[in-house]
Structure 1
Amino acid sequence: MFVLYSIQTQLNQLVANISVNDSCEAAYNKFIKHYDKQTSNESKEIFCRRLQYIAENGGKLHNHSDIAFNSPLRPRLRQSSSTFAPNCLYELCFGSDPLKPLTHIYKSVSLTEAGLSTPPKAQGDCGSCWAFGTISIFENSVLRQQPQPPFWGKNVDLSEQFLMSNSFAYMSSYCAGGDFVFAANYFNEFFQTVEKEENFKYDYEKNEALWKAETEIPPVIQAENYLKPYQTVKIAGYPSLSTPVVGIHTDTTKTFSKDTIWQIKSYLSRGIAVSAGMYTKPFGDALSTYTGQSSIHQHCPGDFTDHQVSFVGYGYKNNEEVWIIKNSWGTEWGANGYLFVPIGKDSFCLERYAYTVLPIGFKFSEGVYENIGSHKRGSIFELDPDEGERVKRPVQQWVIWASVIGSLSAVGIAVWVFFLCSKSKKSKKSYKPIVIDSAVEIMR
C-alpha cells in the first residue's frame, strides 16, 4: 500500500524526477539543479522536512519548497478609544461598512474567471505578504473600476516593490511584516499613485538598502496617469476624517457570523475582493505541500494572524462549500496559487478579519456584477461547475420565530378584544339577541 501511494505521489506531485524514496541529499540536489538555486543548510533542512511530510501524508513539491515563508506576527489590531483624532499609522482606522447585503447572490463566484483578479505572485523568503495582499486588493479595484481608465487597461500588474520601498512606517515594514489596513491608510496619506510592475520589479534584496535609508523612489508613470484606485469613506466616529478602508469584520476575537459570511459573499458577487488574514505558523508543512485539488482545513487555536491573503471567490469544491483564497507563494503552489478552505469552520483563523476598498465609480445601489464567469469549469484546480445560478438569502431563524410569536400575539389580542366587546354589549339594558355566526360565540 505504501509503495503504491509513493509511486502515485511521485508521478503526480513531485518535480525533477524526485522520488520520496530518494535520500535527502539526492532529492535536494535534483531540486536545486532543476530550479537553478543556491544551496544552503537552512533551505536543505526545510526541503527535506517537506519531502518527508509528503512521503507520510501526500502532497506536492514546487519551486519554493525550500522556503519557510517568513511570516512574522503582525501587531494585534485595535481601534483607538482615545477622544483625540486617531493616528492611522499606528491605530486601526476604517469606515463602517456602507453596503447592504444583497438579497440574491451567485451560488459560486471566482473573480479569476471574471477577469477581476490578477495571477498570484511569489513573495519569496521575505515577510512581504502585506504588500502582496494590499496590491491584490488594489489590482482588483482597478479592474473593477468604472469607467475603466484607458492607461491601465485590463492587463493590470501593479508593483509590490514600489509600495514596499516607499512605506516607512512600523506597521508596514518591508520584509518584517505589515497589514493591509495600515498599508492602505499609509498609501492614501503619502502616495500619489500606484505603479506598474514593469517599472519597479520585485527584488527585495536589491532594494532593501534604499529602504533602510528611507530613500523615496518617485513614480515613473506620467502625472496624468496617477491613480489611487478607490473611493474614500468617513472614519468611524470621526466624520471629518476619511480612509480608503471599509471594515466588514473588525473584531479578530470573534469568528464570522452567518450574516458576515453572507456579506462577504455579497461583496464577491459584486466583483469586489476582500482582504483576509490567516494563521500559518503551526501548519507550515501541511500548507507548503498543499496540492490544491481539494479543500484543506486546520483548526484555529485562537486570536492569531500572521499572513495576509485575499478572499477572491466562494462556491463548492467536491460538493463542499469553500472560500477561494488568493495567496502569494507563486502559481506552482496549491491550486495555481490559490487555496480552498471550508466555509464556516474558521480554518487557519481565516474567518476573523475582513476589510476592503470600494472601487472608483462603484455605486452603493449596485447589485451583482453581471457576466462574472462561465461557471462551466473542468480543471482540478477550479470550483465545481454550475449554471451561474443565483441563490436567495435564507431567512434568519430569529425572524421566523418573531413572525410566529407576532402572529400568535395578534390572534390572542383580537380574541381578547372581541370577548370584551361582547361582554360589554350584554351588560347593556338595550341588549337584543343577535345571530351567532362566529366560532368564539359558539364556544361560549
Structure 2
Amino acid sequence: MQLCQEFKLTLLALLSVAFLLCGPNVSSGDTLSKLNSSEVDFWAFIRKFQREYEDSEEFERRYFYFQNATKRHVSLNSFSSELQSAQYGINQFSDLSQEEFRDVYLRAVFHRAPPFSGLTAPKLPAKLDWRDKAVVAPVQDQGACGSCWAFSVVGAIQSVRAIGGSQLVQLSVQQLIDCSFQNAGCSGGSPSSALRWLEQTRLKLATQSEYPYQAATGICRFFSPSHGVVAVRNFTAHDFSGQEEAMMAELLQRGPLVAVVDAVSWQDYLGGIIQHHCSSHYSNHAVLVVGYDTTGNIPYWIVQNSWGTTWGNQGYVYIKMGGNICGIADSVAAVFL
C-alpha cells in the first residue's frame, strides 16, 4: 500500500511539474534542467516531511508556494554577512503560503505592557542558560494549532517551579487551551490574559500525562480545587525596549520569561542569530526566553519555540541582543508561584 502511494505521488509530482514548467517553446533539455533543481528539491521536501497531497491541484499550489519560499530565501540570506548570522532555507513550513503560516502559527495576541521602571541592573554574568540547570522542559510541537500563547506560559510556570527546588514536571498545555475562557484556544490567545486568568482562579495545572496535548480546542476538564501541581500566585509584564540589560537581570532573578514577538520571517528560519527581517511593531507569536550569551561577536537571546525540534536550532531561535530585534523586549512576563 505504501509503495503504491509513493508511486502514485511520484507520478503525480512529475506530471504536475511537467505541466507547470513545460510550454510550447520549452525544450526537453530545459525542462529536464528545471526538473533536476526545483522539482527535485520539492520532491526531497515531500519525502523528508512526509507530505501527502490530495490531488494535482493541491500539488501545484504547494509547489508554487515552495518556489516562492526559495525565492524569499535568497533575499533573506543576502543580509547574512557574518558567520553566526541567521540562515534561511527549506523547512517544514516551505509549502505554506505566508498567509497560511500567519493564520495557523502566529496567533498570539499582543497586549501593550508598561515600561520597566526598576532599579539599574547589577553586574550580570556574561552568559546565562537555564537549560544548564536542568529546569527547562524539552521543546514541544504545537502542530496546526495556534497555541503558542499557552506553551510559553506553561513553559515559564514549570521552569520557575523547578528553579524553586521541585522536580521538573511537564504541565498541561491542553488544560490552559481548553479552560482559559478569555482566550480562543487554537484560534489564538494572549499570554497576559492567560496568566491573569490563572492568577485569579488559582487553578492548579495538571500534568501533561493526565491531561495530554491534542492540538485542538476541547471541552474543559474540571478537577477538584486541590488537584493539580501548581498555581500562579502573581506575574509581571513589562516593556523592556531600550532596557535589555534590565531584561537580562529579570531573566536571572525570575527564571525563563514569556515574550511576544514578531515571527513572520521565522517561517524560513534554519538557525543562527537573527539580526534583521523582523519588526518591533507587529508582535504575533509567544515564546519562552531561557538565556542569553554575550561572549561572542554577536550577543544574543536564547529562545525556546514550540514548533518542534526539526525547526531552527533544534527548536530554539537566537535573537541579537540590543535594538529590540523582533520585538523581543516589547512585552515580557515573569511568573511568581
In structure 2, relative to structure 1, the CA distance for the partners of 1:23 and 1:190 (3 Å cut) is: farther
CA contact (8 A) 2:203 2:231 kept: no
Q: Structure 1: how far apart are the matches of 2:316 and 2:110?
A: 26
Change (3 A) 1:267 1:177: same
CA distance in 2, matches of 1:184, 1:178: 11
CA distance in 2, matches of 1:317, 1:52: 34
State the secondary structure of the residue aligned to 2:152: helix
Map of 1:2-401 to 2, 5 A cutoff? 22-39=36-53, 41=58, 43-54=62-73, 57=77, 59-67=88-96, 68=101, 70-72=104-106, 75=109, 77=111, 102-146=121-165, 148=166, 153-154=167-168, 156-169=169-182, 172-190=183-201, 192-205=203-216, 208=217, 211=218, 215-219=219-223, 226-231=228-233, 244-249=234-239, 256-257=241-242, 260-270=243-253, 272-281=255-264, 283=265, 287-292=266-271, 294-298=272-276, 301=279, 303-316=281-294, 318-358=296-336, 360=337
Whichever residue aligns with residue 263 of structure 1, its letter is: A
Cα separation, 2, equivalents of 1:127 and 1:32: 24
- 1:89-148 CA-to-partner distances (Å, cap 9, x unmatched) read xxx8x9x989755523211101112212222212222221111111111121221124x2
The aligned counterpart of 2:14 is none
| Inter-CA distance 32–197: structure 2 relative to 1 (3 Å threshold) | farther
| Higher mean C-alpha displacement, 98-107 vs 303-312 | 98-107
Retained in 2: the 8 A contact 1:309–1:328?
Answer: yes
SS in 1 for 2:159: helix
Give 1 or 2 for the bigger CA radius of gyration.
1
Give the Å deviation of 1:199: 2.3
CA gap 1:44/1:141 in 2 versus in 1, 3 angstroms: farther
TM-score by length of 2: 0.72
8 A contact 2:262–2:284 mirrored in 1: yes
- Runs of 5+ consecutive residues of structure 2 not aligned to the other structure: 1-33, 78-86
Letter in 1 for 2:137: T
User: Aligned Cα RMSD in Å?
Assistant: 3.2
Percent identity reads: 20
Query: How far does the alpha carbon of each residue in 1:290-324 deviate from its partner, in whole angstroms, 9 at most, with x for none?
Result: 232x3112265553211111221111374211111
Tell me the residue number matched to 1:373: none
Q: Is the 8 A contact 1:132 1:328 kept in 2?
A: yes
More helix by share: 2
Q: Quick one: structure 1 residues 139 and 104, their matched pair in 2 at CA, closer, same or farther if it must change by over 3 Å?
A: same
Q: Letter of the aligned partner of 1:166 in structure 2?
A: C
Normalising by structure 1, report the TM-score: 0.56
